[in-house]
Structure 1
Amino acid sequence: MLLACVGGASVRAETLRIATGELPPYASSDRADQGMSLHIVRQAFAKAGVQVEYVFLPWTRALVETRDGKWDATAAWGRNAERDKGFLVSDNVLTEQWQILYRSDRNFTWSSLQDLAGLRIGVVADYSYTPVFWRMVKDGTLRADVAPDDVSNLNKLLAGRVDVVPLDRNVACDLLGAKFTGEQAHRVRAHPKLFVPDFTTHLMMSEKLPASAKRLEAFNRGLKALRQSGEYGKILQQQPCAADLAQALQGG
């Protein structure tokens, strides 16, 4: 069987099944590359001589079934100490830029999570956000209005049913450009302060699978090689966003 060498170590070629969910442009069954994050994961494994197949599932199911060992890995997830239990976690695949979206017809500013008290915050239950955010929701300091997905939250924002929506900049741009009219999209603004200063995302493998440790080592070597080759940077540059939308989502 074909062997590939990365960083002086040989890795037996194989095909891994990776559970994921829908989060365009990072993970999407509708894109030829299946999303920016998944493309990075695929190319990093390719550097190690490993092929991958993606299985798209609801995010929670992808997590639970991977932890149980049904799938070889799941991607890509923000760090969460409670959720990470039972997993080996990779180096950073991609850093997302989470901001707070609001309607252009209202004045909004914030400097700490406490400033969001009293506002209706549109969230998706499966998302990481931050541990502090979820603790403040649990203790009643913050009011979370849960939706099944980001499109639902954006619709609620436009309809005035929630006041703000934390969302990654690239996800917001992708959804506003693809799922909403121009008039609707331009009613959305993003506060320039990052909701999460350093939102890294990761590949995770179950501790129950004996091969996980060596596979994760191979992935991390491949990811490092991908960065050093310049290919990683080129992948990041392939996410287009209309200039006017980009300006609004940069707080302009």
Structure 2
Amino acid sequence: MNKLKRGIAGLFIFLSACSQAAMARDISVVHSGNWPPYAGRDLPEQGLAIDLVTTALKRAGYSPQVRMASLTQILEGSKTGVYDVFATPWYTMDRDQYLDFSQPYLESSIRFIKRKDSPFEYSRFDDLEGLTIGVIENYAYDEDFNRSTAIKKVGAGTLIENLRKLIGKEIDLSLDDELVLRYTINTSLPYSVATLEILAKPLVVRGVNIGVSRKNPDHAKIVAGFNEAIADMKEDGTYDSIVQKHKAYIDRPASP
């Protein structure tokens, strides 16, 4: 009799799981595919941010369909409702007009990087005056930094280009998100690990959110479900497990 009861209970659990899977609603999730280690075509689970986002959306009852597009396409598609969820936007007042933002699920610390033989230390914005800093063109670091005319900013197309200029003493500093810096150095410039130093004080810390198209009639419900799922993931250890999984390759230098 006990075996029969256990069998029936197991069947109900199986049917319930199948029912929940069948009820999961498809939802399109888009990212640029070129912000490693947060998002990248060839990264495990397409990157740290995408892993967190898709896991949370699944917990909230959705079936995320992940695709990649250029930033211009993503923003235009979000305005028209072509895409439901932009996985990795920074908040701006302009974007808030057409994207419903979640609470931040990650923090992005924008930090300066220098050569270890440089005595420079960053403690306040005025410390940057007179320095030559390598930047990526059209990158939204920080409004005060971007507007400043007291800082000599030299544009480049990629972070690697700036890091090579830094190693070659063509610039005094560069800057980017801390995890992006660590990942890029370890994977693309491992010989420079002992040469470069990421400074402790960030220029700015920004939250990474999801942005749900306001054209989706359920945008508020999607945001609320995502926020709740992230909170639950932090409570039960799933969040930390995902972060540690990605940090394992972010912090592992490639063979020179």
TM-score > 0.5 by shorter chain: yes
Offset of 1:126 from its aligned partner?
A: 5.0
Which 5+ residue runs of structure 1 have no aligned equivalent? 5-11, 246-252
What percent of counterpart residues are identical? 25
Offset of 1:90 from its aligned partner?
A: 0.6
The CA distance in 1 between the partners of 2:150 and 2:208, in whole Å, is 27
Selected match of 1:17 from 28, 34, 40:
28
1:189 and 2:205 equivalent? no
- The AA in structure 2 aligned to 1:165 is S
Match of 2:221 in 1: 214
Number of residue equivalences: 234
Selected match of 2:236 from 221, 229, 238:
229
Residue 200 of structure 2: SS of its match in structure 1?
coil
- TM-score for the superposition, normalised by structure 2: 0.80
Selected match of 2:58 from 46, 60, 67:
46
The CA distance in 2 between the partners of 1:221 and 1:132, in whole Å, is 34
Match of 1:111 in 2: 123
Moved more, 73-82 or 33-42: 73-82
- The AA in structure 2 aligned to 1:18 is V
- TM-score for the superposition, normalised by structure 1: 0.81
Selected match of 2:164 from 149, 155, 174:
155
- The AA in structure 2 aligned to 1:103 is R
Match of 2:176 in 1: 167
Given that 1:16 and 1:51 are in contact with CA atoms closer than 8 Å, whether structure 2 keeps it comes out as yes
- The AA in structure 1 aligned to 2:38 is Y
Q: How does 1:59-78 map to 2 (within 5 A)?
A: 59-78=71-90
Offset of 1:118 from its aligned partner?
A: 2.3
Q: How does 1:197-212 map to 2 (within 5 A)?
A: 198-212=205-219
Which 5+ residue runs of structure 2 have no aligned equivalent? 1-17
Match of 2:109 in 1: 97
Selected match of 1:179 from 159, 181, 188:
188
Offset of 1:213 from its aligned partner?
A: 2.0
The CA distance in 2 between the partners of 1:134 and 1:84, in whole Å, is 21
Given that 1:102 and 1:157 are in contact with CA atoms closer than 8 Å, whether structure 2 keeps it comes out as yes
The CA distance in 2 between the partners of 1:56 and 1:126, in whole Å, is 20
The CA distance in 1 between the partners of 2:131 and 2:36, in whole Å, is 27
Residue 103 of structure 2: SS of its match in structure 1?
coil
Q: Given the superposition, is the C-alpha separation of residues 171 and 200 from structure 1 closer, same or farther in structure 2, using an over 3 Å criterion?
A: same
Q: Given the superposition, is the C-alpha separation of residues 93 and 180 from structure 1 closer, same or farther in structure 2, using an over 3 Å criterion?
A: same
- The AA in structure 1 aligned to 2:200 is P
Offset of 1:131 from its aligned partner?
A: 2.6
The CA distance in 2 between the partners of 1:233 and 1:101, in whole Å, is 27
- Mark the structure with the bigger radius of gyration: 2
The CA distance in 1 between the partners of 2:240 and 2:226, in whole Å, is 17
Offset of 1:225 from its aligned partner?
A: 1.8
Q: Given the superposition, is the C-alpha separation of residues 113 and 226 from structure 1 closer, same or farther in structure 2, using an over 3 Å criterion?
A: same
Given that 2:28 and 2:66 are in contact with CA atoms closer than 8 Å, whether structure 1 keeps it comes out as yes
Q: Given the superposition, is the C-alpha separation of residues 50 and 244 from structure 1 closer, same or farther in structure 2, using an over 3 Å criterion?
A: closer
Residue 134 of structure 1: SS of its match in structure 2?
helix
The CA distance in 1 between the partners of 2:43 and 2:71, in whole Å, is 18
The CA distance in 1 between the partners of 2:183 and 2:144, in whole Å, is 27
Deviation by residue 1:167-190 (Cα, 9 ceiling, x = unmatched): 2222112111111142x3322111
